[in-house]
Amino acid sequence: MQKIIKITIIFLLIFILGIFFLSLNKNLNYNTESLIGNKLGEIELVSFEDDSIFTNDDFKKNSFTLINFWASWCAPCRVEHPHLMELSKENNIKILGVNFKDKKNNALKFLKDLGNPYKYLTRDSNGKQSVNFGIYGIPESILIDDKLTIIKKFVGPLTKQDLNSIKEIINNL
Amino acid sequence: MLSNTGNFLLLLSILFTFFIIFQSFACLKKTNNMIFKSIYKISLLQSTTILICFFTLVGAFMVSDFSLINVYQNSHTLKPIFYKISGTWGNHEGSLLLWVIILTIFSFLFLITNKNHPKNYRINTLIIQNILILGFLFFILFNSNPFSSISPVPKEGLGLNPILQDPALAIHPPLLYVGFVGSSIYFSAAMASVITNYSGKSFAQSIKSWVIISWSFQTLGILVGSIWAYYELGWGGFWFWDPVENASLLPWFAMTALLHSLLVLEKRNILYFWSIILCLLTFTLSVTGTFLVRSGILNSVHTFANDPSRGIYILSFLSLMIFASVYILFAKYKPTNDQINSNSKETFILINNWFMMFYLITVLLGTLYPIFTDAISNNKISVGPPFYNSVITPVVIIFLFFMAVGPKVKWIKNEYLNFKDLLKIIAGAIAVNFIITYFFKSYSLISNLIIISSVFLIISTILDAFKKPKINFARIISHFSFGFLIFFIGLNHNFSIEKDFNLKLGETKKIDNYNFELKDLKLQQYDNYKAVIGKIQISDLSTNKKRTLNPEIRIYDNPQTLTYEASIKTNFFRDYYLTMSNIDRSDYYNIKFQEKPLMIWIWISVIMLSFGGFLSFIRNAKNN
């Protein structure tokens, strides 16, 4: 009898901890795997400087475009910024910055202090456009090719490894 | 600079912790009953280093050193100094440092205050406690380092969540931490007790004070959190069965059960293994709660950013802790034949424990069920107050009766109670309930029973204070405060009034017995926010009394957030509670008005409850 109780307790504990583990993996932000390979929908982004609009056609010219969602108030954005600066030196890729729920002056100051890696800079003052891209928080980046297919999505700040993997993808073609 | 200092101090603490463990093993090999002097010294150094480390972080917050990513994300130069300081533990990384402070200080105090107990027991406790400390120090250093630096240094910080800029919330985490992190020491002691076969009365005495003190702080911590929710969240409630609130309540149930079972262990030398299980359970539940809150697998009003790597670390730590304790317990468990008479104090205490376990399991199930269904079937459900209220409330009624009768019964003896006295008290309780329903308002059957049982507990506890030759005031105050708490919650629940309507400037609205007039709106600029302050006059038509309430809509700058501040007028009889919110594209404001009777007495009851705990701590310290 005692043995049965002991085994039951151990199984129960393993079950509970196992569920915790499962939920932990389940809640890893959200699953970006399903987005890969999909075509980007219609884009209409307002330029940061004036009211001109960038659409899908603007990005078909580039072999690769990295769409980066950032804001001056976002600490991890500062952390990833040097990587973006480095990436901007590459020829095969252009970076599109989407300035998320930010104040214009703060954003400009951020770029003045840390450098501007963006070929295109757009603003999304109320965050609605970013929601269409499936953005949950910032920073996030989406790598697309000239057919506007999503190749990779990065949740959170870009790391050195992310940078290398992007370089590998864009230089292999 | 502060980043290097902090990291250096963290490393130094890790070194000291290793040294304590190493020295403790060396000390175990010696046959005499003396603990090395060096162990005392290093333990003191360890606590001091961690304290300095913590104050280094406090210093960084005070001078707004934004080179630390933690300060940058959680502070702002414009923030009042009090909130700059409380910002230290208002975030995940800083609060972990507070964890370690409590772990180390309790470890040191346990070492120096238990000199009458055998060396092996004390040293084993120290080793286990230091393994816990080590686990958390590694967690801080490699995963959640508050001293991580950022470059280039930002000129301004991102502020603290404005909802967290509140005096109650500033003291809430430290109080709660003394409670549930404090339970680590009796987790370690229980493991050491099983390993060294140091059981029975002396073991109970060695941990009793620690259980009482952590219980009292946990009670206060829960109270302060509850008060914060009451006036800050703007819903007018004080307990929402939110998963994070539940996480603080679960160890409280286990502690309460332990507190009582220790009495039996101390007096009769029985229920030893049960007490050990409760010791292990309390801290395990505390770490489980931390896991649930910090890993982000629960949705709640509490905002801790979601970082899965944290979750993995705490979960691994939790699993290790659980399996190590289960292994030791199974290896050493000996079935005992505890003789208990059905009508003795120990039976009643055991019944108390069953009730506590019932509440614990109910709340645990309610909290974990959504996680389970989501993981297994992808079904997102949420367990709300109706579940808890309908399962817990009826059981509270029976519990209160046992709680009233238990202390009247004697130890060991199978002696029958004086039923005549009990009947008289019940008659008194029914009479009180009758007066309330007759003169004020009638309510549901369950509410009737809640009021009767709580009044029964109050009266019988008060009578106990006069009867016995040796009065235990600590117990009387705690039990009678608990009776009052349930009594006031019952009345508050039944007599609360809530009105919801829209009002524009200059308009007057009559609802039931009240006239509401929005007399004025003014915009005021403060250091870190601006506020739209409403002036609403409430006239009570039956008494002709006029009251002015000033609810606020606050617009914080960093980060930009809108909050609604309730305006509350409190007196001994009732709270008037009013919030105002703007309606988009309209000059109307939405007004939520609540009249909540006897609110302040709910807070006072909980303060008294924990005061009973502190009194018991002093009494216990004197006796030992």
Q: Same structural domain for residues A39 and A25?
A: no
Domain count, chain A: 2
Residue B141 burial (10 A CB sphere; 0-12, 13-18, 19+):
middle
- Chain B interface test: which of A4, A6, A27 (most B C-beta within 10 Å): A27
Does residue A105 sit in the same domain as residue A128?
A: yes
Q: Which residue out of B309, B315, B320 would a mutagenesis test of the A interface target, given it has the greatest number of A Cβ atoms within 10 Å?
A: B315
Q: CA nearest A23 in B: which residue?
A: B375
Question: What is the average pLDDT across B533-561?
Answer: 85
Is the CB of residue B521 less than 8 Å from the CB of residue B536? no
Band (pLDDT 50/70/90 cuts) for residue B187 is very high
Interchain CB distance below 8 Å, A13 and B322: yes
Q: Which of A43-47, B488-492, B514-518 has the lowest mean pLDDT?
A: A43-47
Does residue B23 register a pLDDT over 50?
A: yes
Which distant-in-sequence residues (6+ apart) come within 8 Å of A87 by Cβ? A66, A93, A95, A117, A163, A166, A167
Query: What is the average per-residue pLDDT within B559-575?
Result: 83
| Residue A140 reports pLDDT greater than 50 | yes
- Whether the per-residue pLDDT at B101 is higher than 90: the answer is yes
Torsion of CA B317, B320, B323, B325, to 10 degrees: -80
Candidate from A10, A20, A22 with C-beta closest to B326 = A10
- Residues 6+ away with beta carbon under 8 Å from B153: B66, B67
Tell me the mean pLDDT in the region B234-249: 82
CA distance B353 to B298: 28
**Residue A18 and residue A41 in one domain:** no
Which among A21, A23, A75 is the nearest to B72, CB-wise?
A75
A71, A74, A144, A170: the active-site residue: A74
Contact A73 B158 (CB under 8 A): yes
Whether residues A72 and A137 share a domain: the answer is: yes
In this predicted structure, the answer to whether residue B357 has a pLDDT above a threshold of 80 is yes
Q: What is the pLDDT of residue A146?
A: 86
pLDDT category at A26 given cuts 50, 70, 90 is low
Give the pLDDT confidence score for residue B590 in this predicted structure.
Answer: 82
Model pTM?
Answer: 0.80
Neighbour count for residue B82 (Cβ, 10 Å): 11
Residues A81, A98, single domain; the answer is: yes
What is the distance in angstroms between the Cα of A27 and the nearest Cα belonging to chain B? 6
Q: Which pLDDT band, with edges at 50, 70 and 90, does B575 fall under?
A: very high
With an 8 Å Cβ cutoff, are B374 and A26 in contact? yes
Q: How far is CA B122 from CA A105, B163, B383, B424, in A?
A: 61, 43, 43, 50
- Same domain, yes or no, for A105 and A44? yes
Q: Answer yes or no: do B315 and A21 touch at CB < 8 A.
A: yes
Cα of B224 vs its chain's centroid, Å: 8
Using CB atoms, which residue from A2, A24, A75 is nearest to B69? A75
Q: Is A105 found in the same domain as A44? A: yes
- Chain B residue with minimal CA distance to A3? B330
Question: Chain A contacts of B297, Cβ < 8 Å?
Answer: 20, 23-24, 27
The stretch A150-171 carries a mean pLDDT of 85
Least CB–CB distance from A73: residue in B152, B312, B559: B559
Query: Could you say which of A66, A77, A95, A170 is catalytic?
Result: A77
Residues A26 and A77 in one domain: no
Contact list in A for residue B375 (CB cut-off 8 A) is 19, 22-23, 26
Q: What is the dihedral of CA A112, A114, A117, A123, to 10 degrees?
A: -60
Chain B's closest residue to A5, CA to CA, is B330
**A50 and A83 share one domain:** yes
pLDDT of residue A28: 42
Q: What is the CATH number of the domain that holds A143?
A: 3.40.30.10
Q: How much of chain B, in percent, has pLDDT values that exceed 70? A: 93
Chain A residue with minimal CA distance to B311?
A24
| Least confident span in B155-164, B417-426, B457-466, B572-581 | B155-164
Residues B140-178 pLDDT 10s: 999 889 999 887 888 888 765 666 677 887 898 899 999
Task: Say if the ipTM goes beyond 0.90.
Answer: no
Q: Is A24 within 8 Å of B152 when comparing Cβ atoms?
A: no
Same domain, yes or no: A14 and A35: no
Residues A72 and A14 in one domain: no
Smallest CA–CA distance, residue A150 to chain B, in Å, is 25
pLDDT value of position B301:
47
Q: Per-residue confidence at B299, pLDDT binned at 50, 70, 90?
A: low
Residue A41 one-letter amino acid: G
Which of left, alpha, beta for A85 (phi over 0: left; psi -120 to 50: alpha)?
alpha
User: pLDDT digits over A28-57, tens only?
Assistant: 444 455 567 777 777 778 888 887 888 888
Q: Does residue B369 have a pLDDT over 80?
A: yes
pLDDT tens-digit profile of B478-489? 999 999 999 999
pLDDT at res. B497? 87
- A53 and A12 in a single domain? The answer is no
Which member of B158, B319, B372 has the closest CB to residue A75?
A: B158
Active site residue A77: yes
Contact B295 A22 (CB under 8 A): no
Chain A residues lying within 8 Å of B72, measured CB to CB: 75
- Which of A19, A24, A78 faces B154 most closely, judged by CB atoms? A78
H/E element, B82: helix B81-86
CA-CA-CA-CA dihedral for B109, B115, B119, B120, to nearest 10 = -50
At which residue do the structure tokens 């951020």 appear?
Answer: A110
Give the range of the structural domain holding residue A143, as residue numbers without chain letter: 31-171
Q: Report chain A residues whose CB lies below 8 A from the CB of B69.
A: 75
In tens, the pLDDT along B59-84 reads: 999 999 999 988 988 888 888 888 88
A49 and A121 in contact (C-beta within 8 Å)?
Answer: yes
What's the gap in Å between the CA of B505 and the closest CA on chain A?
29
Q: What is the largest CA-CA distance in chain A?
A: 78
